[in-house]
Amino acid sequence: MSKLFHEAITLEVKEDIQHRPIAFLYKGGKEGVEEICEQWRVSQEWWKRATNTPQDLQSCGDPGSPAKSEIRQGGIDREYFRVRTVRGIVCEMYRDLLTSAWYLQRIYD
């Protein structure tokens, strides 16, 4: 079984030079990464990032221009890792490649 977080939990992660997780803080404790079991990338709606011109973004709020809510968002671009910690916990985490933020998505029993 596993626990899937419907809203991913923000993590503070220590990375290696290739942006792979080495350790992370979870519930106030440091978890060292013993092994990266699997790694994959998810990129969805990538074409939306190319549809907004610099003029679209600069003119937001000008009369007759689209509102910020109408400007298309940049889709999803994430690097996922299934890791096993030093304590034997297996979890899935991802790095948002658009913001560089890390999130915990799932913990396996």
d(CA 89, CA 31): 9
List per-block mean pLDDT (blocks of 10 residues) for the chain, which spans 109 residues: 90 97 95 97 71 50 42 74 97 94 95
**pTM higher than the cut 0.85:** no
Q: How many domains does the chain have?
A: 1
Range of the domain at 52: 2-108
Q: What would the 3-class secondary structure string for the chain be?
A: CEEEEEEEEEEEEEECCCCCEEEEEECCEEEEEEEEEEEEEEEECHHHHHCCCHHHHHCCCCCCCCCHHHCCCCCEEEEEEEEEECCCCEEEEEEECCCCCEEEEEEEC
